[in-house]
Amino acid sequence: MAVRSVFRFVNWVLLLDTSGSPPIFELECISCGTSSEASEAPDGPQEWALKHAGRSGHEMFRAVHTSSFRATRTEVRPSPP
């Protein structure tokens, strides 16, 4: 009895998933490593960074933006016969 294999290759794509939680924004000071609170709007972290720069003189910040992505097949699987 021969063993037979069938391979089917499909393409996948990553799409931004907006059905779940919204993006999360945070800013981190490059000089000292402190960071803002995580927020669903960029305003809070930006305000924190400006205040931190004014108090500390630190000028460089790393933006941390977290979003959800969903992997989706780009073609529909055929129904079995």
> 49 vs 20, which has greater pLDDT?
49
Q: How far is CA 30 from the centre of its chain?
A: 20
Domain range for 33: 22-73
Q: Is 31 within the bounds of a domain?
A: yes
pLDDT 10s digits, 57-80: 999 999 999 999 999 998 766 666
Q: Is 13 within the bounds of a domain?
A: no
Number of domains in the chain: 1
Between CA 5 and CA 57 the distance in angstroms is 65
Identify whether the C-beta of residue 62 lies closer than 8 Å to the C-beta of residue 45.
no
Dihedral of the alpha carbons of 55, 56, 57, 63, in degrees to the nearest 10: -100
Give the pLDDT score at 79: 60
Which ranges in 1-81 belong to alpha helices (H)? Answer: 43-56
Using the predicted structure, report yes or no on whether residue 44 has a pLDDT greater than 80. yes
Q: What percent of the chain is modeled with pLDDT above 70?
A: 91
Q: Is 59 within the bounds of a domain?
A: yes
pTM: 0.68
